[in-house]
Amino acid sequence: MRLNEEEKAMLAGEAGTVAKLAIEHQIKVGEFFGAEDFVPVTQAHIMADTESLGQAGVMWLERLADANEGGVRIPTITDPRGTDFSKASDLGQAEWMVELERRAIEAFSRLGVSMTDTCINYQTVLAATRGEHVAFGDTGVVIYSNSVGGARSNFEGGPSALSAGLTGRTPRYGYHLDAQRQATLRLRADWTPRDLSEWGALGGVVGKLSGNYWQVPVIEGLDRAPTSDELKHFGAAMASFGSSALFHLIGITPEASRLEDVGGDKLPVAQRIGQADLRGLRDSYAVEKGIDVVVFSAPQLSLFELREIARLCKGRRLKKPLLAVTSPQVKPDCDRFGYTKTIEEAGGTVLSGMCFYQSYAREMKEAKGWTRLATNSAKLVNILGGYGYVPMLATMEECVTAAETGELN
């Protein structure tokens, strides 16, 4: 890779051993992907839940922090943690899990990382804007920032995202390049979703059709612009089902005012997607009626989503656990507006700063006896089968009713 003078100095160790380790790692990544040089980035976002890090990962972080060499150079934030410390015992999480989280947080803090603990930083902290080069880790964050914000990021693994924070740059390949952002797959939506679970199902269908990271679908035919929460569920599911990092919606997302802006006019319509396709994805998970737990998570909930859950919970008595997971930025407003009280008076629980599938989901399942899980998140149903759950996709209203009755109709 071609290095400038500052990067050569880092590689020579003139900025300290931590920066040297970081840029050595980034050079290996860049050479693997054929990057010619680095691009400066303005923000970094690290996926670093301790279920993924494990003891070895936390010890590595601690060694970096022990070097005491100044830490990150640019604003660097974190994805959800593995627990909500105030509710860990209620979730069946062991003390060793909590202690590992505390160690990770302490190490990150010494490195200058801001513990935002959110996968919806584009709704809460600081949305990346069109043309802004960033180094983001969470797949839902990347696809939203690339597609809806018009920013530029690849999926950055945890060490790569931290390295970007430590060096202020990332290898210039993939979605940092103009050519990679052109459409490669043209799809037509013959039906526009109406609720969040349907937007997630549409994202799942598009993700399956895309099938790989380098595919960039362009979708035409939607009869209205989706809301931020709808785009959030659509993108998160698409990234989960298809490993996709970028999509274009004609007349909606910033780089695709017209089909020809992203090269879609040169492509044939590969497939039309109708309501039956979305129903088919949902029905493929409708294998049971009884449920053990309802989870609203992946992505974390916005204030508007929590307001709607509170409205649906008002006056009800829930028979089954209902977990509503949000960010530390949203939770205080949820408390202030009375949404937390309404949900918890009905028997639900509002959790902050975590994400269900990154929070020792298998261990929670075993500790609490949960198997059959209802959610309105297409991303979550795609993931949780691997943790031993039987996940079912439903609307938000159907999920709340299932928590009340114990059955999903």
pLDDT tens digits along 337-374: 999 999 999 999 999 999 999 999 999 999 999 999 99
**Domain final position from 151, 176, 201:** 176
The whole-number average pLDDT for the span 326-332 is 98
Q: Give the chain's domain count.
A: 3
pLDDT tens digits along 177-196: 999 999 999 999 999 999 99
Closest C-alpha to 378, from 394, 399, 355: 394
Q: What is the pLDDT of residue 49?
A: 86
Q: Is the pLDDT of residue 409 over 90?
A: no
**Domain final position from 282, 317, 340:** 282
Phi-psi label, residue 146: left if phi above 0, alpha if psi -120 to 50, beta otherwise? alpha
HSE-up of residue 280 (Cα within 13 Å, Cβ side) = 8
- 3-state per-residue secondary structure call for 219-246: EECCCCCCCHHHHHHHHHHHHHHHCCCC
| Cβ neighbours for 401, distance < 8 A, ≥ 6 positions apart | 409
Record the tokens describing residue 220, joined without a space: 């035409």
Percentage with pLDDT > 70 across the chain: 100
Distance from C-alpha of 224 to C-alpha of 232, rounded to nearest angstrom: 16
Q: What is the pTM of this model?
A: 0.96
What pLDDT band is residue 12 in, cutting at 50, 70 and 90? Answer: very high
More confident position, 176 or 48: 176
Q: Is the pLDDT of residue 266 over 90?
A: yes
For the ranges 9-13, 46-50, 133-137, which has the lowest average pLDDT? 46-50
Q: Is there a single domain that holds both residue 186 and residue 172?
A: no
* CATH code for the domain of 157: 3.30.499.10
pLDDT tens digits along 209-261: 999 999 999 999 999 999 999 999 999 999 999 999 999 999 999 999 999 99
The whole-number average pLDDT for the span 49-77 is 94
- Residue 200 belongs to what domain range? 182-282
What pLDDT band is residue 70 in, cutting at 50, 70 and 90? Answer: confident
Q: Is there a single domain that holds both residue 275 and residue 294?
A: no
Q: What is the pLDDT of residue 48?
A: 81
Q: Is there a single domain that holds both residue 42 and residue 170?
A: yes
Record the tokens describing residue 325, joined without a space: 């997971």
Q: Is there a single domain that holds both residue 369 and residue 308?
A: yes
Q: Is there a single domain that holds both residue 207 and residue 155?
A: no
What pLDDT band is residue 282 in, cutting at 50, 70 and 90? Answer: very high
Q: What is the pLDDT of residue 306?
A: 98
| Rg, Å, the chain Cα set | 21
Q: Is there a single domain that holds both residue 218 and residue 328?
A: no
pLDDT tens digits along 82-104: 999 999 999 999 999 999 999 99
Question: What's the chain's average pLDDT?
Answer: 96
